[in-house]
Amino acid sequence: MQKRRREFDDAAEEIEQLFADLWQVFPFSRGMRRGYRPEVDVYRTEDPSSLTVVVELPGVDPKKVQVVASPKALLIAGERTRPKDCGHYQQMEIDYGPFQRQVTLAEDIDPDGATATYERGLLTVRLPIAPRPAPRQSISIVVTSR
């Protein structure tokens, strides 16, 4: 059941990305976009074992970004606001608005050890991989009769 859920989440994320990419390919449809969707990279590092999530957030106030980690997912939410007093647009290509990205993680992480930093428009979230429980040893069970 868990594997099916993860596959469904991955498929939904791929579909969402496909539509986001389509808006880039067909400029006539730009007016139909629904706001800002930051790009995300996820990679695994060793020593210590962790997953690192990098989110492109140029122009976003890091104090207004919500980052929530659970053992299987990371949620990043916020808003990239349009500058005030920008006058009458002659060309408009930069996306603004609220955003929410949920990243399904391939491994269980320890949310208590998570850290996040923001530098030069990049949010970097480090998520330590949860230690795996030690395999249980075989135990002899004594059979008794009543």
Amino acid at 86: C
Q: Give the per-residue pLDDT at 128.
A: 96
Least confident segment among 2-11, 15-24, 116-125? 15-24
Give dist(CA 143, CA 132) in Å, integer.
32
More confidently predicted of 66 and 7: 66
Distance between CA atoms of residues 52 and 45, nearest Å:
7
**Class of domain 35-86+93-131 (CATH, top level):** mainly beta
Rounded to an integer, the average pLDDT of 76-91 is 86
The rounded mean pLDDT for the chain is 84
Q: Which residues, other chains included, contact 67 with Cβ-Cβ below 8 Å and sequence gap of 6+? A: 74, 75, 76, 114, 116, 123, 125
Q: Under DSSP, is residue 66 helix (H, G, I), strand (E, B) or coil? A: strand
Q: Note if the pTM is more than 0.85.
A: no
Residue 68 pLDDT > 80: yes
Residue 30: pLDDT over 60: no
- With H, G, I as helix, E, B as strand and everything else as coil, classify residue 48: coil
Q: Which has the higher per-residue pLDDT, 9 or 93? A: 93
- Where in the chain are the domains? 1-34, 35-86+93-131
